[in-house]
A and B are shown apart, each in its own frame.
Chain A
Amino acid sequence: MRRLFFGVVNGFAEIWGHKLRSLLTISCVMLGVASMVLTTGFMEGFFKGWEVSLQEQGGIEKISTTAQGVKERQAPLAAVSPGLTRADARAIAALVPQAALVSPEIEATRPRLVRGGKSFEGRRGARVLGVTNAILEINRYEVASGRAFSDLDLHDDAEVIIIGSKIRDRLFALGEEPLGAFIDFNDRPFRVIGLLQHYERLWGTYNTLDWKNEIAFVPVTTMATKVQRSDRLSYLNFKAADITRLRETVDAASNVLAQQHRGIIDFNVRTNEEQLASFASTKASFVIGGSAIAGVSLLVSGIGIMNLMLASINERVREIGIRKAVGATPFNIFSQFVAEAVTLSLLGGAAGVAVAVALIKVLSATLPPGSTPLLSPSAFVVGFIFSVSAGVLAGIYPAIQAAKLDPIEALRYE
């Protein structure tokens, strides 16, 4: 115990005695840890952001169908197909038992929402979709007040509308009651029957879920007959009843659609699973790239530490000679130098974590959403362990050199 105490006190005296050299060593480890933590944090932030956005788009059980151009060999026959219509939605609901919910969606081409003197339109304006209640569950919308569509609304092509929070804020003054009020949608008055929940996920001051607030729903029937005057669907989304049978659900739906379209493949059935797969490959390249960056920074900090330790030994040959003369064994000298490397690495590691925290705080406020690094515990553990071990490993070779010094030669050294 006493010996340990002497060792620690002497070690700190040495570290304190060589402030500049110690500071440089600590900086090496600090940069190593900080870059490891930041790289890992960036990757985790990216992965997490992607996961959240996938969830908000309906999760991996969602299957989306969109119209697409036909292949060249079918081009002459393309006109034979009726295209993606509400009939397809009915067909899937009737013929594909694996599909749990079917959501036919028609998007207004040029939506314009007006109330009193206030309007909401333009390129970054609201989207208005003709839908059924299925979209609420598939795309995760919640009606906060008022009600969803009734069967009657759909049957009668009723002129009713459910609006998102941003549309309410734009068209209604504070304290005005939107429910029951009328909004002109493309010059036709629609009665507000429901208000969607306000969605918010902030990165700094930017709300990455604003797109869910800038949306309005009308019955799909109303949209088809009175606004777009076409039965063509913009999207046909449905949900797999059993996630383990996702593939089978997609195949069954594709068959039904091909039948409906008279064999013309002018549609594309996609699952988020494909997004998941493409994400996995992106993730892999991120991990490889990130590891390479972290590896290089580790190597650089390791070389820096080793260099400084070797320089320190040259400077301290005489000290080593003195210690050996008064009875230090080679192992004593070796452990002294390794202990110094460990102490410096730990100090550097702690400083690196502090720097990484500060940088992540700053970057979170300035970087665009989706790429903001996360303060994840695993990033800290990984960064800390790797850099500190690099510091210790880099200290071992110089420590061996120090232990091997001949005390007689070392004492003669000037």
Chain B
Amino acid sequence: MPLGFEVLRLDRVGKRYPMGDVIVDALVDASFTLSEGEAVAILGPSGSGKSTLMHLLGFLDSPSSGEIFFENRPVASLNESQRARVRAEKIGFVFQAFNLLPRLSVRANVALPLAYHGSPPDDAEDRVDRALDLVGMTNRAHHKPGELSGGQRQRVAIARALVNEPRILLADEPTGNLDTKTAAAILDLFKELNRLGRTIVVVTHSPEIAAHFRRQLHVRDGLVTEGGFA
């Protein structure tokens, strides 16, 4: 599949924060570009800085140095509320621990990001239906997360990440809490979504999982290197 336009570009992005008395460089001069339609694995051991990178890509955090361009616009200086708006409208998150709200139904969980949309789409209900259908969870829409298996919960979480039709789907160890068989099914779902044109970034410590993705970025001691295209 030909790669599309640039979605996200990092230009010598660094992140440092104080930890007790010492200043920790969690990320140093990271520069790379993510294009539309890519499927990328960010691979690194724990403590390598891959979580920091993921937070920056997902607008949960702002860099200490360097510049991030989202859709060719510099966004490093956004304040917290502005970053939240970008998250609501352009980013989809999938977490290792699923992070569904246990008291809300599957449907309400999937609809959650739309509640924080700047201008809520008119077809919100249809979008929720489409997202549930895409992950094969339509028949469980009125269940509570507690009534679902781990794999089903992750599917709901993926539906939630897709409901705002994000430019990037960011997944942090999405198969970390799943058994091998279920993990494979979830990875297949990501591949299917990518085949449909979704830009996907998966953060993982596992080379086997990273091997499922066309492009790999290695993170070690805060340094990001291109792992090559598979």
Contacts and interface: CB of A to CB of B under 8 A. Distances in A.
Interface of A: 2-3, 6-7, 9-10, 13-14, 16-18, 318-319, 321-332, 407-408, 411
Interface string B94-125: 01000111011000100111111100100010
A6 B111 contact: yes
B58 to A, nearest CB: 8
Interface string B53-85: 001001011000000000000000000110011
B155 interface: no
B160 interface: yes
Interface string B145-179: 00000000000000010001000000000000000
A17 B108 CA distance: 14
Contacts of B100: 322
The 3 tightest CB contacts between A and B, nearest first, are A327-B88, A17-B103, A327-B116
26 contacts: A2-B120, A2-B124, A3-B115, A3-B117, A7-B115, A9-B108, A10-B104, A10-B115, A322-B100, A322-B112, A324-B87, A325-B95, A325-B99, A326-B88, A326-B112, A326-B116, A326-B160, A327-B89, A327-B91, A329-B80, A331-B81, A332-B84, A332-B116, A407-B60, A408-B60, A411-B99
Contacts of A321: 99
A328 B101 contact: no
Given A6-B114, A327-B85, A322 B101 contact: yes
A329 B84 contact: yes
Contacts of B58: 325
Contacts, number: 78
A9 B101 CA distance: 14
B104 A13 contact: yes
Chain B interface size, as a band, is 20 to 34
A329 B95 contact: no
A323 B112 CA distance: 8
Contacts of A16: 103
A329 B89 contact: no
A9 B88 CA distance: 19
Interface of B: 55, 58, 60-61, 80-81, 84-85, 87-89, 91, 93, 95, 99-101, 103-104, 108, 111-117, 120, 124, 160, 164
Contacts of B115: 3, 6-7, 10
B111 A326 contact: no
A325 B93 contact: yes
Nearest to A327: B88
Contacts of B160: 326
A3 B89 CA distance: 14
B17 to A, nearest CB: 11
Contact of B84 (A7, A319, A322, A324): A324
A13 B116 contact: no
A145 B167 CA distance: 95
Contacts of A14: 103
A10 B110 CA distance: 12
Nearest to A412: B51
Nearest to A321: B99
Query: Which among B55, B61, B100, B103 has the greatest number of chain A C-beta atoms within 10 A?
Result: B103
A6 B110 CA distance: 12
A327 B84 contact: yes
B98 to A, nearest CB: 10
Contacts of A408: 55, 60-61
A13 B108 contact: yes
Contacts of B60: 324-325, 407-408
Nearest to B116: A327
A13 B103 contact: yes
A77 B93 CA distance: 104
B90 to A, nearest CB: 9
Contacts of B87: 324-327
Nearest to B163: A326
Contact of B113 (A9, A327, A407): A327
Contacts of B55: 408
Contacts of B113: 326-327
B99 A318 contact: yes
Given A324-B87, A327-B88, 11 more contacts: A10-B108, A10-B112, A17-B103, A321-B99, A325-B60, A326-B88, A327-B164, A329-B80, A330-B81, A330-B84, A407-B60
